[in-house]
Structure 1
Amino acid sequence: MDRPTALVPQHHLSLGARGPEDVVADAYGRVITGVEDGRILRVHGIGDPHTARVEVLAETGGRPLGLEPLPDGGLLVCDAERGLLRVDPVEGAAGSVRVLADSAAGERLRFCSNVVALPDGAVYFTVSSRRYPLHQWIGDILEHTGTGRLLRLPPAGGEPEVLLDGLQFANGLAVGGDGSFLVVAETGACRLTRYHLTGPRAGRADLFATLPGMPDNLWREGPDGPLWVALASPRVPPLDLLHRTPPAVRAAAARAAVHAPYRPGGTIGVMALDDTGRTVGHLVRRRSGFRMVTSVCPVGDQLVLGSLREPGLAVCARPSAR
């Protein structure tokens, strides 16, 4: 698909809290998200802002980011402050929260970002940066540290294994439709990287797709559906130039940026890709009031967008399949 089409907003759904960074759907079409005050929320009836209902599933005590619903009703949570967590909801009350991993390779997990679970019980998750915490994420993007990681937690638990290192702000994570590979979003490099789980290239990584913007969270719409990608920002040419400067220049830029307010632009976008990395959908809206889209999840004939900054969710029309 050569030209993007319009991303058409339908309504905004206030959550009474800021920063629904990742949005996922459970088996009943309910949307689950985590917000900056540490709560995990579940939204019923996303299609109508007047009748939608928001309930609290749990409070992590940190800052929840990436989420992964489990077949048994549990929920995996990447918490930027506490590490990899498991939440077990309780009807009518706040669910229990258990830490699955808070360190790897001898150091604390500073910035867990996104997570997927495989049928064999193994859990794969990303760490965006080993140098910068969440509230200074812009510093890692500018300095281009390449300290992101992909990790694996065995089914029996224990110490996570580092599978990939040197990633440029490792972020969203999704499983290939046939389960033979993972796709990792490298926000700082505007690309998706494929990690092979099976076959002759098992344990190796290669390029899956180069994107026109900075990918954030990913969502796999079933084994036969597309891979949805949220673009947190269009590609920024001055940033590409900065990344080619000496490390000292990038470090100086990062030091200044973490103390300056960040103002996201008004262009937002999402993409859909097939399992070969080919673009099958690209939706863009310019001069959007809802900014810095960090996640996208299809629910029925609508697309639900999350944001690190906004106080709620945006619900947009899903284009009909071509």
Structure 2
Amino acid sequence: MDRASPLVPLHYVSLGALGPEDVVADAHGRVLTGVADGRILRVHHVGDPLTARVEVLAETGGRPLGLEILPCGDLLVCDAERGLLRVGPEDGTVRVLADSVAGERLRFCSNAVALPDGTVYVTVSSRRHPLDRWIGDIVEHTGTGRLLRLAPGGGEPEVLLEGLQFANGLAPSGDGSFLVIAESGSCRLTRYRLTGPRAGQAEPFADLPGMPDNLWREGPDGPVWVALASPRVPPLDLLHRARPAVRRGAARAAVRAPYRPSRTVGVVAVDDRGRTVHHLTRRRSGFRMVTSVCATGGHLVLGSLWEAGVAVCAKPAAR
């Protein structure tokens, strides 16, 4: 698409907790999210600010990031401190599925998807910087992100792909033949093929006008919604071409400096050919650092690592 359309805010739902980093909608239109204090929350009637209600489903004891709703109703939770978890939303039970990979602790687990055969794929954003120093990895451009695979029988995950620039959101294609991986540090989406003669290979899928964070697929025939946590930063693009020592020095300074997100926010939707079908943006936004987006009840719901609630926006007509 040549031009961005306005991202139209409707209302805000306070959660009473910071950092609803990922938002996902269940089959009943309820929105689930994890917040900074370790709780998993479920929001009812998110489209109506007068009747919206928040309930606590579980506490992970860590910092939940990406969520994936399983067909049985359980949740896969990527916890930046505890690894890959499975949560029973009815009784609040938390079970660790994986907390190590290739002989090292699984930290900064970012996003997960489960395919119909029970295989789970997981992204790891960084092996050098933890969540509270995420900006250090973006600045240093470490390329230590990973894609992991957990077999249906469980066990320890295997490493499928390395060298990703802050691997983040993850979504399957409509036919299950490939995965879409968000690389926040490179402002792009990458395709990892699961089937066919090029299975196991990765290739560029789409360049984006900002840093992608979480991904959410709107059904097998719908688009993949992409949250843009930040617009492109030209000086950062230039820094990424500098020598590693220069980038490391800049990263040390970045993690000590106070961070203030841009007031320009946006979301993108792409189809299974990597074509942009929606690009929505808003300047001077009061809701900053959009790290996730999902669609429910004719609305878009935005999550944020920075805010203490979710924003509900108008959803554009299908293309």
TM-score bracket relative to the smaller structure = over 0.9
**1:176 paired residue number:** 173
Q: Distance in 1 between matches of 2:168 and 2:274?
A: 17
**1:291 paired residue number:** 288
Alignment of 1:1-322 (within 5 A): 1-90=1-90, 95-322=92-319
Cα displacement string for residues 105-125 of structure 1 (whole angstroms, at most 9, x for unaligned residues): 111012000000000011001
Cα displacement string for residues 117-149 of structure 1 (whole angstroms, at most 9, x for unaligned residues): 000011001000000000000000000000000
Segments of structure 1 that go 5 or more residues without pairing to the other structure are none
Q: Which amino acid aligns with 1:229?
A: V
Q: Distance in 1 between matches of 2:178 and 2:142?
A: 25
**Equivalent pair of 2:123/2:167 in contact (CA under 8 Å):** yes
Q: Distance in 2 between matches of 1:80 and 1:65?
A: 7
Q: Distance in 1 between matches of 2:317 and 2:165?
A: 34
Alpha-carbon shift at residue 286 of structure 1 (Å): 0.2
Q: Distance in 1 between matches of 2:175 and 2:102?
A: 30
Alpha-carbon shift at residue 33 of structure 1 (Å): 0.2
Q: Distance in 2 between matches of 1:206 and 1:37?
A: 37
Q: Which amino acid aligns with 1:214?
A: M
Q: Distance in 2 between matches of 1:89 and 1:7?
A: 32
Alpha-carbon shift at residue 238 of structure 1 (Å): 0.1
**Equivalent pair of 2:47/2:297 in contact (CA under 8 Å):** no
Alpha-carbon shift at residue 321 of structure 1 (Å): 2.3
Alpha-carbon shift at residue 319 of structure 1 (Å): 1.2
**Equivalent pair of 2:123/2:146 in contact (CA under 8 Å):** yes
Q: Secondary structure at the match of 1:95?
A: coil
Alpha-carbon shift at residue 170 of structure 1 (Å): 0.2
Question: How many residue pairs get matched?
Answer: 319
Segments of structure 2 that go 5 or more residues without pairing to the other structure are none
TM-score of the aligned structures, taking structure 2 as reference length: 0.99
Q: Distance in 2 between matches of 1:185 and 1:40?
A: 23
Q: Which amino acid aligns with 1:168?
A: Q
Alpha-carbon shift at residue 172 of structure 1 (Å): 0.1
Q: Distance in 2 between matches of 1:131 and 1:101?
A: 19
**Equivalent pair of 2:70/2:114 in contact (CA under 8 Å):** yes
Q: CA RMSD in A?
A: 0.6
Q: Which amino acid aligns with 1:154?
A: A
Q: Distance in 2 between matches of 1:50 and 1:18?
A: 21
Q: Distance in 1 between matches of 2:89 and 2:217?
A: 23
Q: Which amino acid aligns with 2:264?
A: T
Q: Secondary structure at the match of 1:43?
A: strand
**Equivalent pair of 2:144/2:164 in contact (CA under 8 Å):** yes
Q: Which amino acid aligns with 2:130?
A: P
Q: Secondary structure at the match of 1:255?
A: helix
Q: Secondary structure at the match of 2:257?
A: coil
Alpha-carbon shift at residue 300 of structure 1 (Å): 2.1
Q: Which amino acid aligns with 1:131?
A: R
Q: Distance in 2 between matches of 1:293 and 1:306?
A: 6
Cα displacement string for residues 204-250 of structure 1 (whole angstroms, at most 9, x for unaligned residues): 11111011110000000000000100000011000000000000000
Q: Distance in 1 between matches of 2:283 and 2:150?
A: 40
**Equivalent pair of 2:7/2:266 in contact (CA under 8 Å):** yes
Q: Distance in 2 between matches of 1:98 and 1:35?
A: 18
